[in-house]
Structure 1
Amino acid sequence: MKERNMRTIMQGAILLSVASLIAKILSAVYRVPFQNMVGNTGFYVYQQIYPIYGIGMTFALSGLPMFISKLVAESKNQAEKQAVLHQVFVLMLGFSLIVFFGLQGFAGPIAVAMGDGRLRPIIQAVSWMFLFSPFLSVSRGYFQGEYDMRPSASSQLIEQTVRVAVILTVAYWAMRHHWDVYRMGTWAMSSAAIAAVFASAVMAWFVTRYQVSFWQRPVNRPAYRYGTLAKRLLIEGGTISLFASMMVLMQLVDSFTVKRGLVLHGFMDDQAKALKGIYDRGQPLVQLGLVVATSFASSLLPSLTEALSHNRQQQFRRLAKRMIRISLVIASAATAGLIALMPEINFFLFGDRQGNTMLSVYVLSIVFATLIMIYNSILQSLNEFRVTLIGLAIGLLVKLVITERSVVFMGAAGASWATVIALAVMTYMLTRQVQSLHLNVFQDRLISKLVTLCVAMIIGLRILIDLLHAFFGPALMMSRLGALLVSGIGVVVGVVFFIGMALRWRLLTLREWLMLSMADKWLRLFSK
């Protein structure tokens, strides 16, 4: 029975991870055609408000359902589950109404604080999605607590698919009919509420089918006081949600500081908007890099949790160490590849080579953000919520304090450096905490070898690309198809070079290599 239950949990975790991975890829990829249709200024308008959506979606999609599932699992019987769900629903309904009316009423001052009063209707458009958060969070949390991940996975995929379809349709319509970018932004951001309606319909079907009721007052005495439950919801659920939306919180700081800083730096208002739009190109690149780097780690998390639940401390430390080392190597390789190929990737995706330097700096975030996510998973599995929350708070404070000053001094590149520095500070704090577990992650000169290998790969790929340009002539540089061809060649050569040198320098142990997908096959190939 226990074995079957564990198998169900593992299958559910894998299902939800796959759905989350697909949703993240969709969320990153759609921005490229969207930017191509609406231009830099249109992209700026959308990205200024996107962090509000991103934070709300993270709370409703992953953070709060995870906490609610824990409450459901702790409940002794079905009546107690219904009572807890009702209490959480009431608390979240009150919070969501406060956020909704706050965004509706203070949209003007928020837009002015962002340096652009015309953003007001877009802020009001995104606020409607918060009305659906209580139902989505509680229903998803209930089914996850029952180890049934199908409702959450289905609603997540439907939600992202509908949202992306609406956004791209609006962008195409706006381009064809020459809409103002702010009108386009308002309709594009309305996709959040429209997608929430479809997701709610999916969850309502599951709730009705399994006869789950949490909006009616329970007959039995509730298991928690509202004050106690609100505190747990704020600390435990809030910590999980905030870390899940870490990069979005960084983007929210950018929304209030970068455009204003660019104007103070000396750019005209329209120039500052366009340059902020170019800076925002880095976000989908970082998001895709994080998907690649953390997808492996998420597949190991159930094993980590199982080892801890069975009090196998040695196995827990061994798995945690492997997670950190493998994720760091993959993230570093992805970052080095993006930096080396940035001019070609930027031109192929967005049609020009503007902002190559600041985007190259920005993608350094992938390494630090990956480590932070892995550290957070390990520490939260040990119920170390306070440490991770302090680390996040200090990192955000550093970002808030230095971003506008950095932009005024260095231009848009200052915002990239501010993000990297803030994440580096957060990484340092969590690294010190993780070191107390005696994992010995960075042994065998891992960091020095990794840095040397990444620098060598960047230099080698740039030399290769210069040779390709010299051989094929200037026509290759002027064509987006040519940029795709060069990028593809660079990726293949970069992967072969990185893996070959990593094996030669013994960057990872054989056991660590074998944990990667189909490692036994390509390891035999490289050994030849």
Structure 2
Amino acid sequence: MSSKLLRGTFILTLGTMISKMLGLFYVIPFYHIVGSSGQALYAFSYIPYTIFISIATAGVPLAVSKYISKYNALEEYAVGRKLFKSGLIIMLCTGIMSFLALYFLAPYIAAMSTNSNVGSDIEDVTTVIRAVSFALILVPIMSLIRGFFQGHQSMGPSAVSQVIEQIVRITFVLAGAYIVMHFMNGTISQAVSVATFAAFIGAVGGLFSLIWYWYKRRVYLNELLLHDKGTMNISLTEMYKEIVVYAAPFVFVGIANPLFQFIDQFTFIKTMQSIGYDDDSARDAFAVITMQTHKLVIIPVALATAFSLTLVPSITKAFVNEDRTSLNHQLNQAFQVVLFLTLPAVVGLSMLAEPIFTLFYEHSELGTEVLRTYAPVAVLFAFFLVTAAILQGINEQRFTVLSLLVGLLIKLSLNIPLIKLMETEGAIIATAIGYAAAILINLFVIKTFAGYPFKLVFRRSLLIVLFTLVMFIGTGIVYKLLTLFLSPASNLSALIIVIISAAAGAGIYFYLSVKTRLIYFLLGEKVDRILRKLRLKA
């Protein structure tokens, strides 16, 4: 791989990670401004918005970049420019149609999401959904421009625009909500409406940065057209047929988690009210499960999948070349890396649920119990993403649709009965069962079409589970000792408990992994470089 491509991949990955981390952590100060009821209202709008935006844009940057890169390699630069010009019009139309659809569907989504007998509730949810819908006009255009730059091996514009978009959005979310609540004496509904409209403001910031890059690099991009061979004249129909084939799998993977949350949005509050919860308590529980704990749970998912998905291009290459040995090796690495990184993280998150929830939000018995139950589900989130990516690598992405639909059907069937039986935790268990079913289907397809044996992964998984168990016991002892004189209900004490306990757990797990050389089998020479930097190895 060329140094330019490596540098570009690193820049894009770094930008994506910074953007995701900003998106994860802004929810903490936002919680202290609007509280659980405000976060619940925010979730009512953002879950459907995420689905709409995923359908409108998921896979577009990658699909467009693959398409343009393909024809640039053939020196048919005009083909990519033709796609770009027509794509801007199509993405604008797609964005406007998505905006209109969400804007006018808002009252119906609101009525299905909250107590339909209370008009003010429906009005508040409708308002916040409509406020966020404006972002749909601009985000598809941004996705296309990012894909265009990536197709020219220029990753900086995408990375920078993502970070700028998040910074502008989050600044507007927090400043806007704070001003409405504390200076204008506004309502929570007004504060959340301003916060959701921030998605549009952030999109403006991201789009301006991309336009700036375009004007900065337009001379170079136009010069490429002078070297165009001009031997291909591909119709727009053929272009977009190829783009859809590239992008479709990413749409289904991208909307998986929002769709599971969407089922909760339609069923959770009403079911909780049916078993005796009042509206405020039900909304608080909804905020805990969809915003507060969810933001914490997906942190280890993002880290694990970022490492494991780097193996997918190698999986594709091995499968196309029918190199069975290399394919099995790459699959072994993908499965083991995701388990190696995710399992200890979620076990630690579950064990330290009380001080972590206190540290990020406030001390809450409900928050603690939900986080403790929800954390292990992160393993399933990670495995679904990885198995779906592998299906794409072996060209069997059609089964991603089947597995997702089965998982959603199970979630929909079990959600209400399990909530009635187990209250808030019931929704988590329904999600876990749905994801587990989807993963089993994906694994069956991988075994069938790739001829993959799971023996080595099973043996290594037992070793990872054993190490995690030892870590759990060691961390548990440290945690119990610390709680003898520190209270997890206090912010400062919670911080001390989390730092010391997490360090102890990470140390135990890392030591066992190095001693048995498991970490070398999974991460290779990178480990020695890290150890030398930490001065743990000569």
Same fold, TM-score > 0.5, yes or no: yes
How far 1:526 sits from its partner (Å)? 8.5
Match of 2:396 in 1: 384
Distance 2:145 2:495 in 1: 43
Distance 1:103 1:520 in 2: 48
CA contact (8 A) 1:500 1:526 kept: no
Cα 1:312–1:207 change in 2 (3 A) is: farther
How far 1:456 sits from its partner (Å)? 4.5
Distance 2:529 2:128 in 1: 47
Match of 1:7 in 2: 3
Distance 1:269 1:523 in 2: 54
Distance 1:507 1:120 in 2: 55
Give per-residue Cα distances to partners, 1:350-396, cap 9 Å, x unaligned. Answer: 11133222222212221111122222222212332212222222222
Q: How does 1:110-149 map to 2 (within 5 A)?
A: 110-115=109-114, 116-117=121-122, 118-149=124-155
Residues 1:511 and 2:510 aligned together? no
Distance 1:515 1:302 in 2: 20
Residues 1:79 and 2:78 aligned together? yes
TM-score by length of 2: 0.87
Match of 2:197 in 1: 190
Structure showing greater relative contact order (alpha-carbon pairs closer than 8 Å, 6 or more residues apart): 1
How far 1:492 sits from its partner (Å)? 0.9
CA contact (8 A) 2:33 2:178 kept: yes
Match of 1:270 in 2: 280
Distance 1:362 1:224 in 2: 49
Q: Secondary structure at the match of 1:243?
A: helix
Match of 2:176 in 1: 170
Match of 1:153 in 2: 159
Instruction: For 2:166, give the aligned amino acid.
Output: Q
Residues 1:496 and 2:507 aligned together? yes
How far 1:275 sits from its partner (Å)? 1.5
How far 1:267 sits from its partner (Å)? 0.7
Residues 1:462 and 2:461 aligned together? no
Match of 1:297 in 2: 308
Cα 1:140–1:428 change in 2 (3 A) is: same
Identity %: 25
Match of 1:209 in 2: 216
How far 1:11 sits from its partner (Å)? 2.4
Cα 1:229–1:120 change in 2 (3 A) is: farther
Distance 2:401 2:511 in 1: 39
Match of 1:67 in 2: 63
How far 1:71 sits from its partner (Å)? 2.2
Residues 1:33 and 2:16 aligned together? no
Give per-residue Cα distances to partners, 1:172-192, cap 9 Å, x unaligned. Answer: 224424432211111000110
How far 1:132 sits from its partner (Å)? 0.8
Instruction: For 2:355, give the aligned amino acid.
Output: E
Instruction: For 2:264, give the aligned amino acid.
Output: D
Q: Please say which of residues 241-250 and 10-19 is displaced more in the overlay.
A: 241-250
Residues 1:481 and 2:492 aligned together? yes
Give per-residue Cα distances to partners, 1:262-296, cap 9 Å, x unaligned. Answer: 12222111111112112231111122111222232
Instruction: For 2:215, give the aligned amino acid.
Output: T
Equivalent pairs counted in the alignment come to 514
Q: Please say which of residues 385-394 and 486-495 is displaced more in the overlay.
A: 385-394
Q: How does 1:41-440 map to 2 (within 5 A)?
A: 41-58=37-54, 63-75=59-71, 77-115=76-114, 116-117=121-122, 118-177=124-183, 178-211=185-218, 223-226=234-237, 232-280=242-290, 281-301=292-312, 314-355=325-366, 356-436=368-448, 437-440=450-453
CA contact (8 A) 2:169 2:201 kept: yes
Distance 2:194 2:467 in 1: 46
How far 1:509 sits from its partner (Å)? 6.3
Q: Secondary structure at the match of 1:190?
A: helix
Cα 1:361–1:80 change in 2 (3 A) is: same
Q: Please say which of residues 455-464 and 40-49 is displaced more in the overlay.
A: 455-464
How far 1:22 sits from its partner (Å)? 0.9
Cα 1:266–1:456 change in 2 (3 A) is: farther
Q: CA RMSD in A?
A: 3.0
Q: Secondary structure at the match of 1:292?
A: helix
Q: Which runs of 5+ in 1 are unaligned?
A: 214-218
Give per-residue Cα distances to partners, 1:276-319, cap 9 Å, x unaligned. Answer: 11223111112211122223224445555666677755334323
Q: Please say which of residues 69-78 and 147-156 is displaced more in the overlay.
A: 69-78
TM-score by length of 1: 0.88
Match of 1:216 in 2: none
How far 1:73 sits from its partner (Å)? 2.7
Give per-residue Cα distances to partners, 1:41-61, cap 9 Å, x unaligned. Answer: 111111222223434555677
